[in-house]
Structure 1
Amino acid sequence: MFYQKLKLLRKKYQYTQEDLAKALNYTQGAINSWEHNISRPPLEIICQINRIFKVSTDYLICKPESITLNSKKIRQRKHKS
């Protein structure tokens, strides 16, 4: 889930909520809301988070199993062609 991954990445890169808020030009309260699954950031902020933590949008917003399932479907389609 996005909120769990955001917190995990923030801690991995040793950012406080305040540090991340400053990097994104948002408030610490907004970061806290995102990490507690109260709200979600707009897409352009998700893109900034991707750049800061060097991760893909898929990693941040997709469930791992949905990525795996989509990859399997793509491979199946290629084999049918």
Structure 2
Amino acid sequence: MTYYERIRALREDSDLTQKDMANYLKIAQNTYSQYENGKRQIPLDILIEICRFFHVSSDYILGLSDRK
């Protein structure tokens, strides 16, 4: 599973929309959509905020570990 599949799954499992995540991250919804579609790399500061939000490690999101 790729990092963009993992952030999508985390969001969907939490019953959140892309707009919800974009608002939390203070970015445009289309920017967040590009992260989930693998069209744009996630900047480190955004990755950290996503990890904090979902209480998971960056290793999990990046696919280096299956342990959240």
Does TM, scored on the shorter chain, surpass 0.5? yes
Structure 1 segments (4+ residues) deviating >2 Å: 62-65
Give the distance between the partners of 1:62 and 1:3, measured in 2 at CA: 10
Are positions 1:19 and 2:26 aligned together?
A: no
How many angstroms does 1:64 deviate by?
Answer: 4.3
The answer for unaligned runs of 5 or more in structure 1 is 66-81
The alignment's TM-score, normalised by the length of structure 2, stands at 0.88
Structure 2 residue runs without a partner (length 5+): none
Distance in structure 2 (CA, Å) of the matches to 1:24 and 1:49:
8
Please report the RMSD computed on the Cα atoms of aligned residues, expressed in angstroms.
1.7
Q: What SS does the corresponding residue of 2:31 show, helix, strand or coil?
A: helix
How many aligned positions are there?
Answer: 66
The alpha carbon displacement at 1:62 in A equals: 2.8
Please report the TM-score for the alignment, with normalisation by the length of structure 1. 0.75
Identity %: 31
